């Protein structure tokens, strides 16, 4: 699995907001938990608290790649802000 830099995440999100056509990747909760190295319960909690956007399709949640990247970017920014105040 490729690791993204902050610049790559920012560029990808800006492409989403433009008129450029791209294919969206959907992830399951299990896939997201493996990518982020978190438990499934933690991922479900982020979804429940609206920290991570997800769509319920049938009985399962699906996370769009751009929403996952946005979540990671916000988490990095939040961590950077905490470092700045300490």
Between 64 and 21, residue with greater pLDDT: 64
Average pLDDT of span 27-37: 97
Q: CA torsion angle for 75, 54, 25, 59 (degrees, to 10)?
A: 140
DSSP code, position 57: E
The pLDDT assigned to 12 comes to 75
Q: What is the pTM of this model?
A: 0.68
More confident residue, 19 or 62: 62
Residue 54 reports pLDDT greater than 90: yes
Rounded distance between C-alpha atoms, residue 69 and residue 82, angstroms: 20
Summarize pLDDT for 69-83 with one digit per residue, the tens. 999 999 988 887 776
């Amino acid at each position: 699995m490729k690791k993204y830099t902050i610049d790559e995440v920012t560029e990808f999100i800006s492409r989403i907001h433009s008129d450029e056509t791209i294919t969206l990747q959907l992830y399951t909760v299990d896939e997201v938990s493996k990518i982020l190295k978190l438990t499934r319960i933690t991922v479900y909690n982020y979804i429940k608290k609206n920290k991570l956007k997800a769509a319920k399709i049938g009985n399962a949640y699906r996370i769009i790649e751009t929403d996952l990247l946005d979540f990671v970017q916000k988490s990095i920014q939040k961590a950077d802000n905490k470092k700045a105040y300490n």
